[in-house]
Amino acid sequence: MGSKSRYTGDWSAMDCRCDILDKRKSIYNYVLMMFDRTNQMFEYKGLPDTIPAHMLELYLQINGHIGWLEWNGKLYALPGGWGGAPDPYYRPTIYIVANPALGGSHDCKIVNHLPPFDESVWSTKPDCVLMRNDTNMRGLFYLFSRYATELSENDISIRSAQINSRQQSIIAASTDREIASARAYIKALEDGKLEAVMDQAMATKGIRATNVSVQSANVIIQLIELQQYLKASWYNEIGLNANFNMKREYLSEEELMAQTDTLIPLIDDMLRCRKEAIEVVNSTFGTSISVDKNSAWENKQKELETEQEYKEAQVESTKPEGGAKEQEEKDE
């Protein structure tokens, strides 16, 4: 970013223009915005000073995995790759970290995987705990980049529709005289004057106008709805409810509950992966670290639990009193 992008106390020196047509920059900014939203998804307690929580989550969500290891007597959680002979389930057994700030590369054995068939080399390596972002270690980058690309493309379409909407009608003329008359008419409208086209012949034959304002308005509405739908879909992907009904009609309680049921699985999977790894970290390195859902995600979990309790209570209240006893008496 150039110097004009930094605020120095003078807003007039800031370049506040947004180049929507620059797809690469637009997608990049959308992806950063999305990771800003999810970086605080989980709350850690008991982390050592060598592990900033926001960097731990950023590496984990982007790469899909990180390794917890001791380096020069201090605990770190760092991104890396894997190697070594696979374990019986063909999972990696060695985690490799290259970090110039810590003095080079480091490879260690993944203690939360089984040993490989040949343990001779593996057993001599220092310990490392592999933490997954999700079960398949996909991370969130691909998901975010897909939505960011679609949102960026739609931004360009909205911008084009906005510019086209300024033209309420398309005026066509054949001769220089007709063109001059049409320009004078448009200029008069800009100046707030009501003027007539020069002569009747041009008004009826030469100059032709096609109304496009209704079409432009409809396109803008559709594109705004698509933008809202894409953002709502992304929020649902990360476990937050953002209803946007493309049907433009009332949603039943059953439809809303069905939508709510799709919010939690990914976040629950991500939390489970973190908790399982933290348990091994604590037992391996003697720490007392904990992790749980944070802020909006924890509130959403409580809302779902409250809704479930309410539904169960409603089902119980609809049961006839003494129904089972009356049935027994009839059977006798």
Q: What is the per-residue pLDDT across 185-226, written as a single tens digit (0 to 9) for each?
A: 777 766 777 665 555 544 555 666 666 666 667 888 899 999
In the predicted model, what is the mean pLDDT of the chain? 80
Residues spanned by the domain of 114 = 65-132
Per the structure, the count of domains in the chain is: 1
Q: Concatenated DSSP letters for 179-233?
A: HHHHHHHHHHHHTT-----S-HHIIIII-EEEE-HHHHHHHHHHHHHHHHHHHHH
Looking at residues 298-327, what average pLDDT do you find?
61
d(CA 260, CA 242): 10
Question: Is residue 256 very low, low, confident or very high in pLDDT (cuts 50, 70, 90)?
Answer: very low
Higher pLDDT pick, 269 / 259: 269
Q: Which residue has 């992304």 as its token pair?
A: 234
Name the pairing type of β-strands 127-132 and 104-110: parallel
Ranges 39-48, 157-166, 179-188, 259-268, most confident: 39-48
pLDDT of residue 18: 75
Q: Kindly state whether residue 82 falls inside one of the protein's structural domains.
A: yes
Residue 237 lies in a domain: no
**Contact 158/206 with Cβ under 8 angstroms?**
no
User: Environment class of residue 108 by beta-carbon count within 10 Å: exposed (0-12), middle (13-18) or buried (19+)?
Assistant: buried
User: What is the reported pLDDT for 213?
Assistant: 61
Within-domain flag for 317: no
Domain-located, residue 121? yes
Is 100 among the domain residues? yes
pLDDT score at 46: 96
For residue 129, pLDDT over 90 is answered with yes
Give residue 270's pLDDT. 93
pLDDT band per the 50, 70, 90 thresholds, residue 231: very high
Question: What's the pLDDT at 209?
Answer: 65
pLDDT of 275 reads: 97
pTM of this prediction? 0.72
pLDDT value for 296: 67
**If pLDDT is split at 50, 70 and 90, which confidence band does 1 have?**
very low
Mean pLDDT across the stretch 48-65?
96
Q: What is the pLDDT of residue 57?
A: 96
147 within some domain: no
Q: Is residue 178 part of a domain?
A: no
Average pLDDT over residues 10-30: 80
Q: Give me the mean pLDDT over the 274-278 stretch.
A: 97
Contacts with 64 (C-beta within 8 Å, 6 or more apart), sequence order:
132, 133, 134, 136, 137, 138, 139, 141
1 in any annotated domain: no
Higher-pLDDT residue of 173 and 114 is 114
